[in-house]
Amino acid sequence: MSSPVKLYQQELHKNIGYFATWLPGAALELGDVGVFQAGQFHKVASLAELGIPAAAGVAGTPQTLDYSSTESTKIDTGAGAAVPAAVKAEVSVKFDRQGSFVFQALGVRSVQLADKVATSARIVDAFARGAWQKDWLVVDSLYVADSATIIVAEDESAEIVLKASSTLPLAALSLSLADPSLGLTVSAMRGKLVYVIAASGLRPLYSCLRLRKLPFIDPKVVPVRGAADPNAPETDRFAHASIDELLES
Across the chain, mean pLDDT equals 85
Q: Give pLDDT, residue 169.
A: 60
| More confident: 196 or 223 | 196
pLDDT of res. 221 = 26
Exposure string (b/e) for 158-192, b if CB count within 10 Å is 16 or more?
bbbbbbbebeebbbeeebbbbbeebebeeeeeeee
Q: How confident is the model at residue 214 (pLDDT cuts 50, 70, 90)?
A: low
Task: Please say whether the beta carbons of 13 and 20 come within 8 A.
Answer: yes
CA–CA dist 127, 131 (Å, integer): 6
pLDDT at 172 over 90: no
Q: How far apart are CA 30 and CA 23, in angstroms?
A: 17
pLDDT computed for residue 213 by the predictor: 65
Q: Which of 133, 136, 118 is nearest to 218 (CA)?
A: 133
Give 71's pLDDT tier (boundaries 50, 70, 90): confident
Spatial CB neighbours of 200, under 8 Å, sequence gap ≥ 6: 145, 146, 147, 180
Q: How confident is the model at residue 139 (pLDDT cuts 50, 70, 90)?
A: very high
- Looking at the predicted structure, is the pLDDT value of residue 98 above 90? yes
d(CA 130, CA 121): 14
CA 38 to mean position of chain CA atoms: 15
Across 41-50, 76-85, 221-230, least confident range: 221-230
Give yes or no for a contact between 219 and 127, defined as CB atoms under 8 angstroms apart.
yes
